[in-house]
């Protein structure tokens, strides 16, 4: 694979995109970009400024005007990416329940997605990029040399998300996590702009019975074949 290669990794919430993507990028010496944290950063800013989450014009202006930067996090850090918005490092504020509940509402606004897609394409323009999200293979980087769609059963995703919250010291019941995932799946799959779906030429990997190492290895093998 050459320096102009992009790998697109898509999938629903808690399918393992960030953990897998960061490991693949590290193995290849590529830059990893987690687009999910970019939408979370815009959501955090909207909540911080008390913007109506149903006001698409206000959300679009916010996303267009915001100065957002994303850089790789330290090795073995809980977050694969560090995010700054308007000069503030907000990385450690993006996994709050309030942001989690609101992010799908914010990210379904077409103007927000347009602003983020433009920035994401700019970030990937230098090549050598692994980008994870929900519309990378279909919208952001349709010309990516390798497209992967990670999937897992609802029960497995609920288990993983619940475990992530516990590790982060955040209390949540399995039922609360299940309801959060169900709501986000409905919004992500049903939105008019860039709905969550695999690209036609994506390789679909079901991860229920695979370890993180197994999934990373599969993608690295696919990458070498491209």
pLDDT in tens, 158-216: 999 898 888 877 778 899 999 989 988 888 888 888 888 999 999 999 999 999 999 99
- Give the pairing of strands 129-133 and 31-34: parallel
Look at residue 128 and tell me if it is in a domain. Answer: yes
3-state SS assignment for residue 135: coil
Domain of residue 99: give its range: 6-225
Is the pLDDT at 65 greater than 90, yes or no?
Answer: yes
What is the share, in percent, of the chain residues with pLDDT greater than 70? 96
pLDDT exceeds 70 at position 11: yes
Q: For residue 74, tell me if it sits in a domain.
A: yes
Give 198: exposed, middle or buried? Use CB within 10 Å, 0-12, 13-18, 19+: middle
Query: pLDDT-derived band of residue 2, with 50, 70 and 90 as boundaries?
Result: very low
pLDDT value at 25 more than 70: yes
* 142 domain-assigned: yes
Between 54-58, 67-71, 76-80, 90-94, the lowest mean confidence (pLDDT) is in 76-80
Total tally of structural domains belonging to the chain: 1
Residue 1 maps to a domain = no
Whether residue 58 is contained in a domain is answered as yes
**93 falls within a domain:** yes
Give the model's pLDDT for residue 201: 96
pLDDT at 77 over 80: no
Phi, psi for 111 (deg, rounded to 5): -65, -35
In a domain, 202, yes or no: yes
Identify the pLDDT of residue 149: 98
CATH number at residue 187: 3.40.50.300
d(CA 95, CA 40): 8
Lowest mean per-residue pLDDT among 10-19, 49-58, 76-85, 109-118: 76-85
Output the CA–CA distances (angstroms, integers) from residue 120 to 8, 67, 124, 130, in the order listed.
12, 13, 6, 11
Does 181 reside within a domain? Answer: yes
Average pLDDT, the chain: 91
Cβ neighbours around 37 below 10 Å, total:
26
């Amino acid at each position: 694979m050459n320096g102009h290669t992009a790998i697109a990794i898509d999938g629903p919430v808690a399918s393992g995109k960030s953990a897998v993507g960061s490991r693949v990028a590290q193995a290849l010496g590529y830059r990893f970009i987690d687009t999910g944290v970019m939408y979370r950063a815009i959501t955090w800013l909207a909540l911080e400024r008390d913007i109506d989450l149903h006001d698409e014009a206000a959300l679009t202006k916010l996303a267009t005007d915001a100065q957002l930067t994303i850089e790789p996090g330290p090795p073995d850090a809980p977050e694969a990416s560090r995010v700054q918005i308007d000069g503030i490092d907000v990385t450690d504020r993006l996994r709050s329940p309030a942001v989690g509940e609101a992010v799908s509402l914010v990210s379904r606004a077409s103007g927000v997605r347009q602003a983020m897609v433009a920035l994401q394409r700019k970030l990937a323009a230098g090549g050598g990029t692994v980008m994870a999200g929900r519309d990378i293979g279909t919208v952001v980087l349709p010309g990516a040399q390798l497209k992967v769609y990670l999937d897992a059963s609802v029960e497995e995703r609920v288990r993983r998300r619940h475990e992530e919250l516990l590790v982060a010291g955040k209390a949540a019941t399995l039922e609360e996590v299940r309801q959060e995932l169900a709501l986000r799946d409905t919004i992500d799959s049903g939105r008019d702009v860039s709905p969550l779906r695999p690209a036609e030429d994506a390789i679909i990997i079901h991860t229920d019975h695979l370890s993180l190492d197994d999934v990373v290895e599969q993608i690295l093998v696919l990458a070498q074949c491209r």
